[in-house]
């Protein structure tokens, strides 16, 4: 099969399009003929400097496609099922082998391109807002990087839950963000977002911040919190220093929680499975929307990664084998 691989971490140019061995189906697993691959922020960070499981390494957390093999111990999946899947690595390829329990059936009416965007982005957003963020109707939330895949999922889920939604983005994305439920967009390149939050909330701050940017942005996110506010750290797109000064937390009985969906998949499997099944159903009914900004052929994975790093995308970038 063909795959986008790299032999060393670095800039997008390290990605090569090569022949690699087909994956092997485990007794408790399945093999997916991949139809679409959602490139996650973590994929870009791993390619830039993360761990490699092998050399060459196939990066990628998310894909969707059709089951071509089903392991002997699997009873709830069959060849021909349309699924979306989570994995630690391996999605940037024509085929992927994963445990059957890490797949979700794709409802009718949801395309592979959109289904591939669901598990990481929407599962992460839901956990940040509700499982760990404890967001309630009437509260306020600041979503950092509001136009990202996780950001747009957070915006929609928070708005549906009855929250007041603030989000950072470049000004040219404001109109589209408003369509998805942002009440107060903040042009992070033009103003200090912490100052903007204090002004917009008459000095109170917000009840919850979801921060996928990291670095200094995470430190300043703490300054946006109201009394007893909660901050969620869920990534480090900036590749900055994640160490923070906790002083703003103790001054207002605030909290900071790190969230990693992969741990919940391992330790809270039944909850995550039910949560993502419900999100996929809502997408099929048109109650929620995924956004695919652009698609690239798998052979152009390097160009797709470079486009993501340009920060021009609104929503997800998808590879098509």
Helix (H, G, I), strand (E, B) or coil at 235: coil
Confidence (pLDDT) at 159: 98
Given a cut of 90, is residue 78 above it in pLDDT?
yes
Query: Is 247 inside a domain boundary?
Result: yes
**DSSP state for residue 269 in the 8-state scheme:** H
- List phi, psi (to 5°) of 94: -75, -25
Please compute the mean of the pLDDT values over residues 234-238 and round it to a whole number: 87
Centre a 10 Å sphere on the Cβ of residue 99 and count the other Cβ atoms it contains: 16
CA neighbor of 244 nearest in space, from 205, 216, 224: 216
Confidence (pLDDT) at 240: 78
Confidence (pLDDT) at 237: 84
For CA atoms 265, 267, 269, 275, give the dihedral sign.
Answer: negative
CA–CA separation, 281 and 110 (whole Å)? 9
Please compute the mean of the pLDDT values over residues 84-91 and round it to a whole number: 97
Query: Is 278 inside a domain boundary?
Result: no
For 273-319, the pLDDT digits (tens) are 999 999 999 999 999 999 999 999 999 999 999 999 999 999 999 99
Given a cut of 80, is residue 242 above it in pLDDT?
no
Residues 87 and 133 in one domain: no
Q: What mean pLDDT is reported for the chain?
A: 96
Residues 213 and 256 in one domain: yes
Question: What is the count of structural domains for the chain?
Answer: 2
Going by pLDDT thresholds of 50, 70 and 90, the confidence category of residue 261 is: very high
Domain that holds residue 113: 2-118+290-320
Residues 215 and 301 in one domain: no
- CATH number for the domain harbouring residue 98: 3.90.180.10
CA–CA separation, 307 and 310 (whole Å)? 5
Going by pLDDT thresholds of 50, 70 and 90, the confidence category of residue 239 is: confident
CA–CA separation, 55 and 38 (whole Å)? 22
For 106-159, the pLDDT digits (tens) are 999 999 999 999 999 999 999 999 999 999 999 999 999 999 999 999 999 999
Residues 252 and 171 in one domain: yes
Query: Is 184 inside a domain boundary?
Result: yes
Confidence (pLDDT) at 110: 97
Angle of CA points 112, 3, 31, to nearest 5°: 55
Confidence (pLDDT) at 67: 98
Query: Is 280 inside a domain boundary?
Result: no
Residues 207 and 157 in one domain: yes
Confidence (pLDDT) at 265: 94
- Residue matched to tokens 């989570």: 86
Please compute the mean of the pLDDT values over residues 100-108 and round it to a whole number: 97
């Amino acid at each position: 099969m063909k795959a986008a691989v790299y032999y060393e971490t670095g800039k997008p140019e390290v990605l090569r399009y090569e022949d690699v061995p087909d994956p092997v189906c485990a007794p408790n697993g399945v093999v997916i003929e991949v139809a679409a691959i959602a490139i996650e922020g973590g994929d870009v960070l791993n390619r830039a400097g993360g761990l490699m499981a092998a050399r060459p390494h196939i990066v990628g957390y998310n894909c969707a496609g059709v089951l071509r093999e089903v392991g002997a111990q699997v009873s709830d999946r069959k060849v021909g099922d349309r699924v979306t899947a989570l994995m630690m690595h391996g999605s940037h390829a024509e085929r992927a082998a994963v445990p059957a329990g890490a797949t979700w059936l794709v409802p009718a009416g949801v395309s592979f391109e959109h289904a591939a965007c669901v598990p990481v982005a929407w599962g992460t957003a839901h956990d940040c807002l509700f499982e760990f963020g404890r967001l309630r109707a009437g509260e306020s939330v600041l979503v950092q990087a509001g136009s990202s895949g996780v950001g747009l999922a957070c915006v929609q889920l928070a708005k549906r839950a009855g929250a007041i939604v603030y989000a950072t983005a470049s000004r040219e994305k404001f109109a589209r963000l408003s369509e998805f439920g942002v009440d107060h967009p903040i042009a992070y390149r033009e103003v200090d977002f912490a100052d903007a939050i204090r002004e917009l909330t008459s000095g109170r701050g917000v009840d919850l911040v979801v921060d996928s940017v990291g670095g200094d942005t995470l430190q300043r996110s703490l300054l946006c919190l109201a009394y007893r506010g909660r901050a969620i750290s869920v990534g480090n797109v900036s590749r900055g220093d994640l160490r923070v000064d906790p002083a703003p937390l103790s001054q207002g009985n605030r909290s900071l929680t790190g969230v990693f969906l992969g741990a919940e998949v391992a330790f809270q499997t039944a909850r995550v499975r039910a949560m993502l099944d419900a999100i996929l159903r809502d997408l099929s009914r048109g109650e929620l929307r995924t956004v695919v900004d652009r698609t690239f052929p798998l052979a152009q994975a390097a160009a797709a990664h470079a486009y993501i790093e340009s920060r021009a995308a609104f929503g997800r970038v998808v590879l098509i084998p």
